Amino acid sequence: MSAGNGFNVDALVEPDRVHRNCYADNEIFEREIRQIFHKAWIYVGHESQVPNTGDYATTMIGRQPVIMVRHQDRSIHVLYNRCPHRGAKLCANRAGNTGGNFTCSYHAWQFKLDGKVRHIPIQSGYDNTRFDLNDPNFHMKPVARMEVYRGFVFASLSPTGSSLVDWLGTAIDGINDMCDRAPEGEVEVVPTCFRMIQKSNWKIFLENQLDAVHPSVTHGSTGLAAQQVAKEMEAETGKPAPLSYHYISAFSMEMEKWGDLDVVGHRNGHCVLQGYMGLRPTDPDTLEYDAIMEKHYGAERAKEILDVNIHHLLVYPCLSIQSPLQQLRAVRPISANETMTEIWHFRLKGAPEPIYRRALDYFYLVNSPSTMINADDLYNFRKIQEGLESEGGDWVSFHRNAGQDRVEGDITTSNIGFSEIPMRNQFEAWSDYMKAEDVV
């Protein structure tokens, strides 16, 4: 089913089900790295992570270590994290400041912030050799393509392909929604990043993000506990419990209400779960924020921004975005059964401090590694992976509402939140990537 040139995607992916090997086969995983993560646009980071000249942040694009760095001219460069002399990684830390140049710790070769060689310590001995400082082979290699959209930095290791904006298509609304909610039209990263190693395939995480069935099942007990505490607090004080309790108690709502959300599939595997879940109260902090938004945008445009209905958006294959709460999770596959996710939070520039604190509460209470919500998910992810690696059955079912989706151009929609559109849509894109010719 997956051997070498005999790789047969159609034997693995059917319209309403996929073979378990898609999640559990090492050879398929290695092909995913080549065909998807080394070809698609992959999220590298946000430009506010590197505000000063020489600031850098390191990450992985598939198997490739890269550096995002701020140049003296304020531009952003994304370079392979490799010295062209003997191959040593130039930056071992996740982030820092390298000054005006990169220096290799092995032989002290130095490189400018755009990757061009600046100085080598021993310049003799190169006469009558093929060594030439002007040869790009002796410079740090830049990624094939890099683009920045509203501060979000993406890179592709493939020299060919569509532009970032074209590739995102209508899914770009998730990034726009996050930035537009800032009175100044920009967001900046909160330096703390939570990183988690999940003992499961990367696709399991992405599929779970827009699964509207599991919240009241997986997280129901956690939600009920928060709901009970909130009721006791209200009875004792005579005042509504803080909004932060609702972030967790919402998971206890009836399953039918989750079904009221809408799911939308976009081309290239991007997906949206629509429905804001009622997290816009009318307390004084919110009213102050609304007034500031009207001052910056005008009443009509401010209302239009705040009425955007996105709850959760996936930029396939690398991002999960909760734009109304300025949360972002980046997916970094490690192996067929191991994935790292980076959880980032952003501040709305120009918004009142209480609005930032409100979103920060959600970051800590729902999305951090220490929450019961994440613990619930991680437990299921591992059990799913272990089940898929067994011989208890060959297929994973995506039958719910199959054949009932509405297709209009590049958009597939359902007004049933329980529809498995997101899973089918992601695997349609997966099939296209995996059928393409191998990267040379």
Phi, psi of 207 (to 5 degrees): -65, -35
- For the record, the structure tokens of 356 come out as 């930032």
**119, 228, 322, 426 from 212: Cα distances, Å:** 56, 23, 15, 16
Task: Pull the structure tokens for residue 230.
Answer: 């909130």
Q: Using only C-alpha atoms, what is the Rg of the chain?
A: 23
Residue-level pLDDT at 279 = 60
Would you give per-residue pLDDT tens digits along the chain (440 residues)?
444 445 799 999 999 999 999 999 999 999 999 999 999 999 999 999 999 999 999 999 999 999 999 999 999 999 999 999 999 999 999 999 999 999 999 999 999 999 999 999 998 999 999 999 999 999 999 999 999 999 999 999 999 999 999 999 988 999 999 999 999 999 999 998 999 999 999 999 999 999 989 988 999 999 999 999 999 999 999 988 888 888 898 888 888 888 788 889 999 999 998 876 566 678 899 999 999 999 999 999 999 999 998 989 999 999 999 999 999 999 999 999 999 999 999 999 999 999 999 999 999 999 998 899 999 999 999 999 999 999 999 999 999 999 888 888 888 888 788 999 999 999 999 999 999 876 43
CA 140, 167, 189, 302 dihedral sign is: positive
Domains delineated in the chain: 42-156 (2.102.10.10), 170-212+259-435 (3.90.380.10)
Cis ω on the peptide bond leading into residue 317 (within 30° of 0)? yes
Return the closest-CA partner of residue 269 out of 202, 199, 188.
202
The helix-helix angle for 372-388 and 202-209 (nearest 10°) equals 130
- Specify the residue for token string 């799911």: 263
Tokens of 307: 């009425």
Q: Is 165 exposed, middle or buried (0-12, 13-18, 19+ CB in 10 A)?
A: exposed
Q: Are 145 and 49 in contact (CB under 8 A)?
A: no
Quote the pLDDT of residue 276: 65
pLDDT of residue 277: 59
Helix (H) or strand (E) holding 234: helix 220-237
**Strand 310-315 to 319-322 pairing:** antiparallel
Give yes or no for a contact between 188 and 350, defined as CB atoms under 8 angstroms apart: no
Q: CA–CA separation, 105 vs 91, rounded Å?
A: 9
Tokens standing for residue 408: 């209009």
Task: Please name the helix (run of DSSP H) or strand (run of DSSP E) that holds residue 277, with its range, or none.
Answer: none
Angle, helix 372-388 to helix 220-237, in steps of 10 degrees: 170
Give the closest residue to 421 by CA, choosing from 205, 210, 171, 170: 210
Residue type (1 letter), 10: D
Torsion sign over Cα 197, 198, 204, 210: negative
- pTM, entire model: 0.94
Strand 187-189 and strand 338-348: the pairing is antiparallel
The owner of tokens 């437990």 is 379
Supply angle C-alpha 228, 230, 235, rounded to 5: 95
Q: What is the pLDDT of residue 440?
A: 38
User: Which tokens hold the place of 51?
Assistant: 């505000």
pLDDT of 2 reads 45
Nearest to 201 by CA among 55, 58, 25: 25
What residues have CB less than 8 Å from 213, skipping those under 6 apart? Answer: 255, 258, 418
Q: What single-letter DSSP state applies at residue 141?
A: P
